[in-house]
Amino acid sequence: MLHKIAVLSDIHGNATALAAVLADAKQQAATEFWTVGDITVRGPEAERCMTLLDQVAPTAYVLGNHEQNYRKVLTATPATFNQPKQIMATILTAYDRAQLSTAHFEQLVHLPLTVTKQVGGLKIRLQHVLPNFASGHTLAPTEAQVNFDQAATGDPDIVIYAHTHQPLMRYSTNGQVILNAGTVGLPTAVHPQLRQQRAMYLLLTFDDHGLLDIGYRQVPFDWQAAIRIARDHQLPYLPFYEQTLVTGAYQYAPSAVAAYNEEHQLASQAAQILTDLQNGKINENQK
């Protein structure tokens, strides 16, 4: 008997892409769904993404670096959280929180760093980057073997991580399989000829003998509609999101974010958000 699991990572608030992926996964007869972090932030529809996921009831959620930023923003002060990407995280967290239900926001804030699933005789660990760390460039596809051995510490047979937006399969020194599903919501590639505007996810097929197939799915979605939604919803940092979807190239370099913050005087806006949080003020739009 076949058991198909759809692995979703780095949705980034792009409900247009997520809806296309979920439709494709159902056509492929997926019966279970796992998520590997960064469900929200950067895209315009955090709440709709959570609602769509509720409809398929994922059996695994893990913390991404952007959900981790939610936690950081809640306890930060203007004096301690004022670097360019931190300013962006503060503003995007406030934007998401204004639309997320209280239950969904609390769910995202309290996600675990890892989840281990047992499928037949296989132990599969899900993590956004490392088992004890949800951010950083440790597992970029071209990084050293020792980094991937660190990702597979312990006794998992298969490790699934996210964060890089690049589909990947490689092995630890001990022969454990390490997989990355790519990205649902912000498709990018380093090599120009590999860039395409398709949502990525991983379809794992198991039978009675073990892992039968590893399917890297790439699904067309209406990226122009996703941009229109972002404009209509007044997404902060819209040019970064828009150009990522248009070009298929990563746009959120710290230097570019710093220049944008300065041009639009966003440091003061972020400082006010953090001050309000410290004073117990809650966004009036939060449900």
Q: With 70 as the cut, is the pLDDT of residue 286 above it?
A: no
Q: How far is the C-alpha of 208 from the C-alpha of 220, rounded, in Å?
A: 32
Q: CATH no. for residue 213? A: 3.60.21.10
86 located within any domain: no
**Position 54 in a domain:** yes
Query: pLDDT for 197-234, tens place per residue?
Result: 999 999 999 999 999 999 999 999 999 999 999 999 99
State both tokens at 154.
């312990």
* 106-131: average pLDDT: 98
Number of compact structural domains in the chain? 1
Q: Is residue 100 part of a domain?
A: no
In angstroms, the CA 225 to CA 86 distance is 28
The answer as to whether 47 is a domain residue is: yes
> d(Cα 11, Cα 279) in Å, to the nearest integer?
32
Reported as a single tens digit per residue, the pLDDT across 150-179 is 999 999 999 999 999 999 999 999 999 999
pLDDT in tens, 30-75: 999 999 999 999 999 999 999 999 999 999 999 999 999 999 999 9
pTM above 0.75, yes or no: yes
Please give the Cα distance from 126 to 142 (Å, whole number). Answer: 20
Residue 270 lies in a domain: no
Classified as helix, coil or strand, 122 is strand
Domain limits for position 27: 3-64+111-252
